[in-house]
Structure formats: structure tokens, C-alpha cells
Structure 1
Amino acid sequence: MKFIDDIFKSRSKEDGIFFCKMQEILGFKPKSLSIYKRAFTHRSMNYKDKLGNDINYERLEFLGDSLLDSIISTHLFKQSPQGDEGYLTKMRAKAVSRKNLNQIGESFELLSLLRTQVNTECFSRNIHGNLLEALIAAIYLDQGFKKCEKFILEKIVNPFIDIEELEHKVISYKSYMIEWCQKHKHNFKIVEYKDNGKVVNGQKYFGMTYQLNGQDIAKARATSKKKAEEKVSRRAYYALQDQIID
């Protein structure tokens, strides 16, 4: 069993390298290096505190998610005085979408800082967004809310989140197409293929057809019904580009 208190309080060349990398990302000197180490510790390391509690980034990820939501919500509220609740909610969802956070976390090269016993190639892309949220929580615990807010606005919002671009960004093609069809009084269905559930190379696939006003518009297969519905909706969206008006 590894005890985190002993490991994270130690001083080493590795600590110096980590400190410099953190300072470069943050734009300021960390006060408590241990909280940032925790933000980049995977559960596979099996670190425990002296009470036997697991120490990894997962609890920080939870806290960072809440902080990010709060600060982005405040930013949108101030920047979009004409936006109603529905607009603000939709814009926030786009800003903090998993795809968006993954891209931001990847740009910071956060995965290179992760302590893990698992080959990093085995992680899904979501690891980038997870680490970004954990980092945000670490900043909050180390520096307080104001410094955390400043980091999010200067390092995340300003370079990566543009309100005008977000307005035209689609995060769920299925939801978008449902709204578009309802708005324009179109009848639509997403129906299953005849060969739905087909197994290819040991992997089960689900096929969906997107029908608009009784006509087949697009077809798609994926490894789950949810993914297939989103995929076929995306294909329908592009197939109907001439008709769709944002």
C-alpha cells in the first residue's frame, strides 16, 4: 500500500519538473504542489491517505465540473443580457460539452502529467476533459475562487469559447433535428434496419434509418442504438443542409 502523504511531501527532481510544468500552464506559482499532483493521479496508482481513503483525481473532477459550470454560467449571464433561460442553458451545454473540454485539455497536454499504471493509449478522449476539471478544482483549493475564475476566463473562455461560434455549434444532431422538424412541421422517424443487431467481426452493430415526411434521408450503423441514432441524425443534418436554416 502506498501512502500519499509520504509520497507527495517528498522533494525530488521530478517535483521540480512537475512544478515548472504546472507554473507554465497556470501562469502563476502553485502554493501547494500536492493538490496538483493529486489532480494528475489515476486510481490505478492505488494511492491512499493515512485513513485509507482513495487519492486520485476523481473527487477533484467532480468539484471542477461544478466550478466550471458556475463560472461559465456567470460569464454567459453577463455577456448575453438578451438571452433567456433556455438560450443560456443551451449555450452553457455547448461551452462545457465533453468534446469541447477534451479539446481544451488536450491543447494543454495534461495527459503527459498523469501518474498512472495504465498505458495512456488505453484511455478514451474523455481523459483530457476529466483532467482539465480536476486541474480547475486544484486551482480553487490552492488559490481560492477568484484565482480559479481568472484562470478559467483567461485560459479557457477567452481563447477557446466564442459566443457567436457557439450559437452555430451543434453538440447533439439528434436534438437539433428534432427541434428543426418540430419548428418546420416536418414528420420524422428514426427506425431500425432489418439487419439491426448484426454482428461484424464479433462486434454487434445497430442500424438506423432517418425518415423525413415518409422518405428515407439517411442510414447509419454504430455499436449502440444511441450512437446509431446520433450518427444517422448527423447524416440527415448534412443531407438536408440546403433546407436547414439556423
Structure 2
Amino acid sequence: MFKDILRLSGNLKYEFNDINILKTALTHSSYVNEHNNKNGISNERLEFLGDAVLDLIVGEYFFYNLKNTSEGKLSKLRSSVVNEETLFEIGVKFSIGDYMRFGKGELKFGGKKRKSIIADCLEAIIGAVFIDGGYEATKKVVLNIFKEKLIEAKEFKLNGDYKSRLQEILQKTNGVTLNYNLYNETGPDNDKVFYSEVRVNGEILGRGSGSTKKLSEQMAAKEALVKLGEEDV
């Protein structure tokens, strides 16, 4: 049975003109096959469309926000955001698997938690929004649900991956342990600021803040690099 898919629509901050297209986006092929419904439609075609639309929206975002970046680097940035792992992570955040329709066999073998299925379904939902509301409406939804991932990718490009640099430097010394800890967060849910610290052998070496947990860890790593003389202030 469907959970209340209107709740999912609300969580996505998009009101469908035709709720049936969202139902289609949430229908796995196993459900159609098991019910021997020749006229039934699974989410596979919407997934195909959503994949293309998502690539365009994310590519456009980086194109306009990183104007001096080469085509090759733009492609890598897009791939760092549009991939199965990220799609699955966002899909789980919205509990997409709980809204989907599966055949009994697929459901029995954990279909609603399978990474590839959840990732594909999120793309199908993006395709459904595109068919229902057009490009601008889809762009608004995508930029909202991918906000953290887009910000992180852009900031890493502009400022560098401080965590990796710190890890590489400390690996040269045997017996060094490196840990990150989120010690505070402030602000409303839609505008949070996260505060992290990095500890080396239990001692605080750096602290930082950012609009996502990962960004706050990057800033903590940067402060640690400054203290080690490996980075300018």
C-alpha cells in the first residue's frame, strides 16, 4: 500500500497537477509484471527522462557558478553530485522506498532498501516533476533537494579538499589518529550552521563552521593546516 504520497509531494515542496504521474514514478517494474498488467506502466521511462533532466540542471548550476572552470572539471563536479550513492542518500532522506509499489518477490528480497532501486526512483520522480510542471519547476525541486551536495562540490572546487591534504600530511607520521567531531549546530532547519573540530591524538588541532557538516569539517581541517604551517590564513 502507498503511504500518503501527498506527504512525499509536500516534502519535495512541489504540488503535482496530476498525482497519477507521481504514482507512476513510484511504481517498480516488478509490481507491473506481477500483476500481469499489460497496460500498466512502471517508472523506467520516467527514470530515463529524469536522468537527462538532472544532468542538465546540475551541469547548468556549475556552468554559471564556476565560470572559469574547464569542461573536464565541470564534468567531474557533475559526476560527484549525480551518482548512485548521492541519489540513494537523498532518496533515503525522503523515505522514497516506503512510498513505492513493488511486486511481492522484490519486496521480500529488500527492494525498497536497494541502492539502485532507490536511486532510479528518485530520477523517475524528477522526470515526473518535469512532465507535470516543466523545466523551471523541476529546477527548483532539484536545487532544493541537492542543495547540500551542490554547495559542498562547489566549495571543494573553490577552496580545495583540506581534509585530504591533512590526512596525507599526518599519514607520514606513524601512530597518529585523526578524528572529526560535530560539537554544535545553530539556526533553523533550512539555514543551519554546523561547527566541527578535528582532533589529532585526542588534542584539538582545528575548528571550523559551515552550512553543511562536511563543510565545517573542511574548515576545521584548514585551521589545522594553518597551525601546521601548511596553509595560509
Question: Do they superpose with TM above 0.5?
Answer: yes
**Is the alpha carbon distance of 1:120 and 1:39 closer, same or farther for their aligned partners in structure 2, counting shifts above 3 Å?**
farther
TM-score, length-scaled by structure 2: 0.59
TM-score, length-scaled by structure 1: 0.56
What's the CA shift string for 1:34-76, capped at 9, x where partnerless? 100000001112279xx94551011111100000000100000
| Distance in structure 1 (CA, Å) of the matches to 2:10 and 2:109 | 25
Give every structure 1 segment of 4 or more consecutive aligned residues whose post-TM-superposition deviation is greater than 6 Å: none
What's the CA shift string for 1:88-125, capped at 9, x where partnerless? 01111111021111111111111110101122653331
| Distance in structure 2 (CA, Å) of the matches to 1:96 and 1:41 | 22
| Distance in structure 2 (CA, Å) of the matches to 1:100 and 1:28 | 21
Give how far 1:155 is off: 2.0
The aligned runs of 1:23-172 (5 Å cut-off) are 23-46=9-32, 52-117=38-103, 118-119=106-107, 121-123=109-111, 124-156=114-146, 158-161=147-150, 162=152, 163-165=154-156, 168=161
**Is the alpha carbon distance of 1:100 and 1:35 closer, same or farther for their aligned partners in structure 2, counting shifts above 3 Å?**
same
| Distance in structure 2 (CA, Å) of the matches to 1:165 and 1:131 | 28
Q: For the pair shown, which has the larger CA radius of gyration, 1 or 2?
A: 1
Q: Which structure has more RCO (C-alpha within 8 Å, separation ≥ 6)?
A: 2
Partner residue, 1:242 = none
Partner residue, 1:236 = none
Gaps of 5+ in 1: 1-13, 170-246
Gaps of 5+ in 2: 163-233
Question: Which residue identity does 2:145 align to in structure 1?
Answer: K
Paired-residue identity, % = 28
| Distance in structure 2 (CA, Å) of the matches to 1:53 and 1:16 | 23
Question: Which residue identity does 1:63 align to in structure 2?
Answer: L
Say whether the 8 Å CA contact 2:14–2:141 is kept in structure 1.
Answer: no
Report the RMSD for the aligned CA atoms in angstroms. Answer: 2.5
**Secondary structure of the structure 1 residue equivalent to 2:14:** coil
Q: How many residues align?
A: 152
Say whether the 8 Å CA contact 2:26–2:43 is kept in structure 1.
Answer: yes
